[in-house]
A = this chain, B = another copy of it.
Amino acid sequence: MARKSGRREKANTISDGEAGFVISKDFERFNQINDIFTRAFWDSKIRTKDTDAFFEGHRKQFTVRKSAGFGQKDFALRNASWAVSDMFSNRSETEGKREGFQALMDNETLVAKDKISIEDVKEFTDELKTVAKLFGADLVGITLIDDRWHYSKRVDTRGFKPVSNDLPGSVSHVIVLGHSMNKQLVDTYPSALASAGTGLEYSREAAILTQLTSYIRSLGYDAVGSMNDTALAIPYAIKAGLGEYGRNQLVITPEFGPRVRFSKIFANIPLSIDLPIRYGITEYCTKCTKCSDACPPKALPYGKPTFDSGNQSTIRGVKKWSANCEKCFGYWAKIKTDCAICMRVCPFNRDFSKLRGKIFWKFATGRLQSLALWWEKRIGISNRVKPDVWWRTVRQ
């Protein structure tokens, strides 16, 4: 299960076929104004009291509920987990830039005048990956810029209007970072407690991006950090060989299954690129519908990947499994926190550092995939760990 990360040093492109992408003639770059989180501000079809309360609860004052997992401690832990990310995001909000979400991350480090000389690109790439891990990244993959995945417009948050989304300067490579989420927290989805697992990673992302871009800039090369802003992370993560796309709209990785968030750095620096890898996740997900079965608002698709996205908040002209974002976010607004039941119930939400996890991965991605599918069908949809149990455990 060790990462057999193929690498090509002078590749100019990686074909869509190699990445497993099927793109139609109707393809259009995604306009961030249609992102469901943005529509929740300007689109009367989406905006409700509940969506306003969802954002208010994250940024100012949350409202406690009686059910376990939605109490004061749960929301407090969620918002505290987000606090570092929030600090970065709030910095330039007066300029209409919510960094990491609707704008690139700012960086105070000047690009050094002297470029360090990179004699052995492969060696330098390995070194840079270790530095990324020193800063806390769990996965690192490198790919080339492909502007099809960049938003055609980004959003100015002062009036939620589309504005130009050009990258500053020229950029050659994308460094994709993976941030694994805490399994114990994820296993309590849906709850405000589980959402702490999301907040923790956004906060780590903001910090790691700041450090790694600062490092590259001090070496004399341009680099700028990005969380959910500017471009779609998923196609980049797949192209950089970090994992494969699943029915639950998540990238399934051999290290952490679907329990990973991605951030990215756009950099103008010579690096060796990684090759996409196919583990057989597409085949597994085609035969498994646990995430769709377990989704409370029935926002996840059945059947095979299609071109029909079904709603304006997903990209057009890419053959894939697409969620109904209106239904999905409608449920988030109802529970006032993010839901990732689809991550929790995914058969790949396992601890792959343990033997049982390793054995499952071996079967699920190998010739005996049908055995893994049979086993998973037999055990059914895994139970949510009760938030009370999580709190009781931490007290011991």
Contacts and interface: CB of A to CB of B under 8 A. Distances in A.
Interface of A: 60-62, 64, 72-73, 75-77, 79-81, 83-84, 86-88, 90, 108-110, 112, 114, 116, 123, 126-127, 130-131, 134-135, 182, 196, 200, 203, 207, 210-212, 214-215, 218-220, 391, 394-396
A395 B72 contact: no
For this chain, the copies found in one complex come to 2
B83 A210 contact: yes
A123 B391 CA distance: 11
B126 A80 contact: no
B219 A76 contact: yes
A87 B108 contact: yes
Contact of A86 (B72, B88, B108, B396): B108
A394 B126 CA distance: 7
A196 B108 CA distance: 18
Contact of A87 (B61, B80, B114, B210): B210
A116 B73 contact: yes
Nearest to A208: B84
B77 A131 contact: yes
A82 to B, nearest CB: 8
A64 B115 CA distance: 12
Contacts of A220: 72
Contact of A214 (B80, B126, B200, B212): B80
Nearest to A117: B72
Contact of A76 (B62, B108, B200, B215): B215
Contact of A207 (B61, B64, B84, B127): B84
A348 B220 CA distance: 39
A80 B60 CA distance: 31
B127 A80 contact: no
B210 A134 contact: no
A76 B395 CA distance: 41
Contact of A218 (B79, B86, B114, B135): B79
Most buried by B among A76, A200, A207: A76
A180 to B, nearest CB: 14
Contacts of A83: 108-109, 210-211, 214
B218 A130 contact: no
Given A80-B212, A210-B83, A219 B109 contact: no
A199 to B, nearest CB: 9
A139 to B, nearest CB: 16
A391 B219 CA distance: 15
Given A109-B79, A127-B394, A395-B127, A211 B203 contact: yes
Contacts of A394: 126-127, 130-131, 134
